[in-house]
Structure 1
Amino acid sequence: MTTRPNPLLRFLPFLAWFPMTRESLRADLLAGITVSLILVPQSMAYAQLAGLPVVYGLYAGFLPVIVASLWGSLRQLHTGPTAMLSLMSAAALIPYAATGSETFIALSLMLALMVGILRLALGLFRLGVVVNFLSHPVIIGFTNAAALIIGLSQLNKLVNVPMPRSDWFLGDLWVVLQQLGSTHWPTLGFGLGAFALILVLQKRLPRLPGVLIAIVVTTLASYAIDFERTAKAGVDAIEDPGVRAQVMQLDQATAELQRHNETAARLQSELARAEDDGAPLDTLLDLKGDIARSQAAAYALGDRMMTLRIQLHRVDFTQQSGADGAPRFAVAGEMPKSEPLGTGHWRFGGIAGGEVTFTGGGEVVGAIPAGVPGFQVPHVDWALVLPLLPAALVMALLGFMEATSISKAISAKTGQRIDTNRELVGQGLANIVGSFFHAYVVSGSFSRSAVAAREGARTGLFAIVSALGVLAVMLFLTPLLYHLPQAVLAAVIMLAVFGLVRVAPLFHAWKVNRPDAVIGIATFVATVAMAPALANGILLGVGLTVALYLFRNMRPRAEILGRHPDGVLGGIDTHNLPAVSEHYVALRFDGSLNFVNVAYFEDVVLQALERFPHAKAVLVIGSGINDLDVSGEEKLRALVEQLRARNVNLYFSSLKRQVLAAFERSGLSSVIPGDHIFKTKEVALKTLDACYGSGRIGPAVPA
């Protein structure tokens, strides 16, 4: 007697966790605490990767984690901020707002809402199969490229130099490499120290939370030596008039950029209203032209500001006391190329409202707002919905693909069945709910899920425990993170993503199928070349995959057949065999007769007759024909009439039931009669031998 499934599980899948045992509660509690120790530092690091203040990573590691665990499919899957989607979120939004600005934060939440709606829709309509468009070589090529881009994007934080945020990542990286001579060696020391500590702990004591220990140790060391060491003064405190002029130019450019951003936002809103009101085309074109000019001016200002920042970063200041006792900053010259900053050296840190910040140390996380995220409806900028839709769709699919691959790897060990569509629903709800509580895009995390599985998590309760750990940090521990060096977060990101780089699968693909491997390599190259617009790289890979699929289906395997000495059929060109007869042609066609390849089928038949001009019949062995559409039926009719005009008959054998049914429904049986269709190729060859056997040039057909 079978047990009927509980209908409530469709809407409340977490009910399947119950009843819980003492052992499962203990396992989930320990796994949740362990994952929480990884989730907190990763969330902060990935938020900065997304161009957001670190607190938004903590927000994304709280409610979305709980929602995804309650409505997801795999119990050991941990949802939250991930490196890849964090970078893609930043890349998608950089053209529309300055990173870290209020507009940028609002757009990040809007993008999370869009990704959530797309995933939820895919899950509700049971369209999880669309992820199959992402072939394995494309995924490998994209993942390798994204991992390199994410890791290298943190290089400037590791050496403490400015890095532009333009629409060409390789150019930005080149700017950073040109500044390596201005490396802040204490910052690099913190980063490399975190690297070494994490790697040693992972190798020697893998059960310990190496990332958390590294963060605690480096934060305490940063506090002990006053690693940040900042000072503030007015612009007039800079004694060198040339440098003072550059600082004032930067301040003015910052204010002007803010005005351009506000103007662009206002124009976008006016354009959206004008389109809704059906304004004249001239009005719409004028508004679009004004938006384009404002954005071009903003880009030019951004480039100018970055140039000024880089120039000012190289200036070595020394602090002195003025006549009134106020601090003065004299210019000692350019920063030493090979000497670290001493305690008497200062660098330009930034300017806001006419007040200059000087730094004598490295960058730290700084103040993190305490408290839980409040409810707020995300602001939807309708003018940017369509421009952001391609990136949102790619992020929705990639995040789902990442979660699915994690789930399959874990379920192979646990034996739990995965419902991909339900997982889409859970991931979609997590992003939607999170966007109302200041969370940016989230997805399944491979590293945290692997830790949960390793620690023996039994149900999604472990994820809720990890989210409560983030909540405790937000409520009570944020002041302790002030002195955490930015270089340490950069090291955490680099260690997380460089482990994703895998070259062996591409070599394996090259051995198995070179066109597939070429597409994987092309995806890698395109993703790197077009970064930070990562979506363009994977879209190119998908396009190449579809094109290759269509090409293969447009020209399926087709070959004229002959016989081996033992009587087995084989291709005359592949195996250098004689044809079965010079008065009829036997050929194999391994593709469906549809609009994609029916023209190629016609070419194959006619080319066979050109090679054997005395042939009076063509036998198509159709065991590989799976389908017949309207285009195929029409082309077959035309081909039969064309062959009859040449006194050539067309025969078929080994057709599948659905193809024979299509022949009957379409009326093809009136032009291809039943005695021209054979059940097996052996019967067909014997019959054609009897009719056209006088010209046989191959061995006799065995009885």
Structure 2
Amino acid sequence: MNSIHYQLFPFLRWQKPSREILKSDLAAGTAVALVLVPQSMAYAQLAGMPPVYGLYASLLPVIVAALWGSSNQLATGPVAVVSLLTATALIPLAAPGSGEYVALAVALAFLVGVVQLSMGVLRMGALVSFISHPVIVGFTNAAALVIGLSQLNKLLGIPVDTGGHFLMGLWDMLGDVAYLHWPTLAFGVGAILIMVGLKRFIPRVPGVLAAVILATAISWLMGFERKADVHLDQVSPPAVAEQLLKWGDFKEEKADLELQIREQQALLEAADSTEAAALRYKIELLSLRQEHVSRVLKLYREEMRDVRFARLPGEDGQPDAFVAAQALDERGEEVHPKWRVTQVDGVQIRMDAGGRVIGSIPAGLPSISMPDLTPATLTALFTAAFVIALVGFTEAIAISRALAARTGQRLNPNQELIGQGLGNLSASVSQGYPVSGSFSRSAVNLNAGARTGLSSVFTAVFILLVLLFFTPLFYHLPEAVLAAIIVMAVVGLINFKAIQHAWLASRHDGIAAIVTFVATLAVAPNLDVGILIGVALAVGLFLYRTMRPRVSELTRYEDGTLREARRYGLRADEEIGLLRFDRSLYFANAGYFEDAVLEQAARYPHARYMIVVTQGVNEIDASGEEVIRSLVQRLRARGTTLVFAGIKPQVLMVMKRTHLVDFMGEDNVFHSTEGAIATIRDRLAKQKAEEGQADQEEGENERA
């Protein structure tokens, strides 16, 4: 089979299935699936999606990414960081969980897939090098903190406003900690204890699955979910009902204002200068009204959180009534359980006396269809898609390299890009959202004995069976348990020692890591802005380093080697200047190179030769070449010859193409540094001898 077949169908490189391989892959695939089922639903919740969409994203993408990727053990699917980036991109555009939100998530997966696939086909895997390791370290630590803290409200059972700044929402939630729901907290903490305990004492038992099974059973037995959807007419006294009605009206107005703002912003992108001014003014007015409505809604929420209701059976076939408990307490009546308002939708009120559970998960397979891609959608999502594509692939390739270090497998980054791109495209057409490689599930896959990508196929088959037959079993799973799963998954991502290590290795790398960390926290939940700031800073610091490279004056040490004159307190030769330039010569540092050579020449006005050691110069561009010509002319004017020593073949090739060698003189360009110094010394000795002889002859002529 030729190489073209392997490029088109990389899975043909897998080992030929044998009974032993199939057994190992089946065991590994099942182990991964047992972790993936609850994780996928948890990550879907993190992304603002209904839990079933996490299962959809764990079906086709798992198979496709394994078939067309380059790693045999990489487990693809929903992951924490990509899920949070998805929520970051979509929450400003639509209400989480809504049909519009889901459609945007599906479209986002398609764009991510197109970006990754295009990069893979064009062999642009090296592009991820622009996201340096320190930036990834800073971003990952900040993202892990944001993800973990974003689950606090679900662990505590406290509602939080997800539409504003993350840190402000977190502060408001902590201010409401007195209203936490103790049973919800018990489920969350209990799940964490189960996962930690099993990992420490019985690591072979999947802690995630055990926590899910046990929590679901307890939730069902105790009737953890107690909710009721009631009409406003069932609520009393009238003053409380009126407050709820105003709450619903303001909530509808806020949603309408958000829609109007998005529509006006879409028109603004296509408007001319005259229309744009009017549209900006209208958007500003709508935004001011939206801020006012948001403040009013917050006040209503704060007022209603103290109100508890008692459920009284209706008489003569009438629906049950929900009376503010305070009114009953004044009459000396005590009723349990007490209900609270958790959602208002017009005149429909959601009452809750228990905790939140996943609820009904639609059974059956996802429909296969192309996402709805409009110009407005493409414009709104492209930047986020590009960031998610880079971050997701960076995470996937880092995991693949860690796995390859243990298995000895050879990786192809461009092929992995193709696999991840096709995986996201398959997620899009099967109602999924963006996916990437998972470190925890990949580790499970490897440790369980996965030999080929067939393990991922078996994982997807397990997910298929869950979607067809077992979704009703998850109805009573508390959302707090999903939050606990997310918290446990991201705890391992927090590694402040890596930031410290980057600082010790390079101050610039340490600065990039710290600034990325702080910026990501500061702009949360807009994490894509944080990583873009980090990338821009890392590139800027790199350019700064190359603009001012290390330039050293050299001289002979007592052992005959060349050393830096200033560092070792040595006296330099005043007739032959020696300068080492440790960076490629290009437009950003050409001026710095020119200044360094002229400064050296000014310090030694009697130097006849200026030797530049170019062993650290790997290339020169047109700006560098022009600076060298200028230096040759300026030094010649003062009687100094510029010499290049230790020149590399690729640099010499450029100098010959531009005839710079002819301009400098071919006898002033050397491959060897030591050879150049020896030749120049001989040349200088001959010049002195000739000058001495000329002086002697001139003296004799004068005497004659």
The normalised TM-score by structure 2 is 0.92
- Taking the aligned partners of 2:680 and 2:614, their CA distance within structure 1 comes to 16
Q: Which amino acid aligns with 1:565?
A: E
User: 1:508-657 maps to which residues of 2 (within 5 A)?
Assistant: 508-579=501-572, 581-657=573-649
Q: Is the 8 A contact 1:583 1:693 kept in 2?
A: no
Alpha-carbon distance between aligned partners in 2 of 1:292 and 1:383, rounded to the nearest angstrom:
20
Assess, with a 3 A threshold, how the Cα gap between structure 1 residues 611 and 42 changes in structure 2: closer, same or farther: same
1:192 & 1:87 partners in 2: Cα distance? 22
* CA distance in structure 2 between the partners assigned to 1:474 and 1:516 by the alignment: 46
The question of whether the paired residues in 1 share the 8 Å contact of 2:661 and 2:669 is answered with: no
CA drift at 1:24: 0.7
Equivalent residue of 1:573, what SS? helix
1:368 aligns with 2:361: yes
Structure 1 residue 286: deviation in Å?
A: 4.1
Aligned pair partner of 1:208 in 200, 205, 211: 205
Aligned to 1:427: 420
CA distance in 1: counterparts of 2:117 and 2:302, whole angstroms? 44
Change in Cα spacing, 1:333 to 1:602, as seen in structure 2 (3 Å) is farther
Which whole-Å deviations, capped at 9, do the CAs of 1:280-305 have from their partners, x for residues lacking one? 54345545654565466456544543
Alpha-carbon spacing, 1:306–1:435, altered in 2? closer, same or farther (3 Å): farther
Q: Is the 8 A contact 2:249 2:346 kept in 1?
A: no
Tell me, what secondary structure is at the counterpart of 1:559?
strand
On the 8 A contact 2:310/2:335 being kept in 1, the answer is: no
Tell me the amino acid that sits aligned with residue 206 of structure 1: P
- Secondary structure of 2:642 counterpart: strand
Distance 2:288 2:436 in 1: 34
SS at match of 1:416: coil
The alpha carbon displacement at 1:12 in A equals: 2.0
User: Do 1:74 and 1:423's aligned partners in 2 also have CA atoms closer than 8 Å?
Assistant: yes
* Displacement after TM superposition at 1:551 (Å): 1.2
Q: Are residues 1:173 and 2:170 paired?
A: yes
Q: 2:252, 2:346 within 8 Å by CA — same for their partners in 1?
A: no
Residues 554-592 of structure 1: per-residue CA shift (max 9 Å, x gap): 11111111222222211112222211x123311111122
2:377 is aligned with 1:380: no
Aligned to 1:676: 668
Post-superposition offset of 1:528: 0.7
Greater mean alpha carbon deviation, residues 252-261 or residues 104-113: 252-261
Number of residues paired by the alignment? 682
Residue in structure 2 matched with residue 411 of structure 1 by the alignment: 404
Which residue pairs with 1:701 in the alignment? none
1:348 matches 2:341 = yes
Give 1:50's aligned residue.
Answer: 47
Deviation at 1:248, TM superposition (A): 1.1
Please, which moves more after superposition, 287-296 or 514-523?
Answer: 287-296
Q: Does structure 1 retain, via aligned residues, the 8 Å contact 2:28–2:448?
A: yes
Distance in 1 (alpha carbons) for counterparts of 2:105 and 2:145: 23
Mapped to 1, the partners of 2:158 and 2:602 lie a distance apart of 70
User: Structure 2 CA distance, aligned partners of 1:8 and 1:342?
Assistant: 73
Structure 2: give runs of 5+ residues left out of the alignment: 328-333, 689-704
What does residue range 652-671 of structure 1 map to in structure 2 within 5 Å?
652-671=644-663
Range moving further from structure 2, 611-620 or 341-350: 341-350
In structure 1, how many angstroms separate the alpha carbons of the residues matched to 2:288 and 2:57? 33
Percent of aligned pairs with the same amino acid: 44
One-letter identity of the residue aligned with 1:598? A
- Tell me the SS of whatever aligns to 1:588: strand
What TM-score, normalized by structure 1, do the two folds share? 0.92
| Residues in 2 aligned to 1:10 and 1:156: alpha-carbon distance in whole angstroms | 47
Aligned residue identity for 1:619: I
Deviation at 1:139, TM superposition (A): 0.9
Give the Cα separation in 2 of the matches to 1:310 and 1:343: 23
User: Please, which moves more after superposition, 503-512 or 453-462?
Assistant: 503-512
Aligned residue identity for 2:471: T
Distance 1:242 1:694 in 2: 109
**Secondary structure in 2 aligned to 1:484?**
coil
Identify the residue that residue 700 of structure 2 maps to in structure 1: none
The counterpart of 1:248, out of the listed 220, 226, 245, is: 245
Conserved? CA contact 1:167–1:531, under 8 Å: no
Superposed CA RMSD: 2.5
Given that 2:310 and 2:336 are in contact with CA atoms closer than 8 Å, whether structure 1 keeps it comes out as no
Aligned ranges 1:400-479 → 2 under 5 Å: 400-479=393-472
Q: Which runs of 5+ in 1 are unaligned?
A: 335-340, 697-703
Most deviating of 165-174 and 257-266? 257-266
CA distance in 1, matches of 2:210, 2:598: 73
3-state secondary structure, aligned to 1:627: coil
In the alignment, is residue 82 of structure 1 matched against residue 75 of structure 2?
no
Name whichever of 12-21 and 544-553 sits farther off: 12-21
Distance in 1 between residues matched to 2:294 and 2:687, nearest whole Å: 81
Alignment match, 2:694? none
Larger of the two Rg values belongs to structure: 2
Q: Matches of residues 260-279 of structure 1 in structure 2 within 5 Å?
A: 260-264=257-261, 267=264, 275=270
Structure 2 distance, partners of 1:310, 1:498, is 32
Q: Secondary structure of 1:357's partner?
A: strand
Distance 1:575 1:553 in 2: 25
Q: CA deviation at 1:493?
A: 0.3
Tell me if the contact between 2:198 and 2:205 (Cα under 8 Å) persists in the aligned partners.
yes
> 1 CA distance for matches of 2:207 and 2:312?
43
Structure 1 residue ranges, 4+ long, deviating more than 6 angstroms after superposition = 322-325, 693-696
**Aligned pairs for 1:100-179 within 5 A:** 100-179=97-176
Q: Deviation string for 1:111-147 (max 9, x for gaps)?
A: 1111000000001111011111111111111111101
Report the CA distance shift for 1:301/1:75 in structure 2 as closer, same or farther (over 3 A).
farther
Does the CA-based 8 Å contact 1:313-1:348 persist in structure 2?
A: yes
Amino acid at match of 1:458: R
Q: Which residue of 385, 391, 395 corresponds with 2:384?
A: 391
| Aligned-partner SS, 2:251 | helix
CA distance in 2: counterparts of 1:301 and 1:53, whole angstroms? 27
The worse-fitting range, judged by mean Cα deviation, of 601-610 and 251-260 is 251-260
Residue 97 of structure 1 and its aligned partner are, at CA, apart by: 1.2
Structure 2 distance, partners of 1:342, 1:531, is 43
**Aligned-partner SS, 2:308:** strand
Q: Deviations over 1:380-407 (max 9, x none)?
A: 2322423322221111011111111111
Task: Give the 3-state SS of the residue equivalent to 1:368 in structure 2.
Answer: coil
Q: Deviations over 1:328-369 (max 9, x none)?
A: 4343469xxxxxx99432211212341222111111111111
Match of 1:337 in 2: none
Distance 1:342 1:127, change over 3 A: farther
Counterpart-to-counterpart distance in 2, 1:63 and 1:473: 14
The structure 2 residue matched to 1:318, chosen from 277, 287, 310, is: 310
Alpha-carbon distance, 1:214 to partner: 0.7
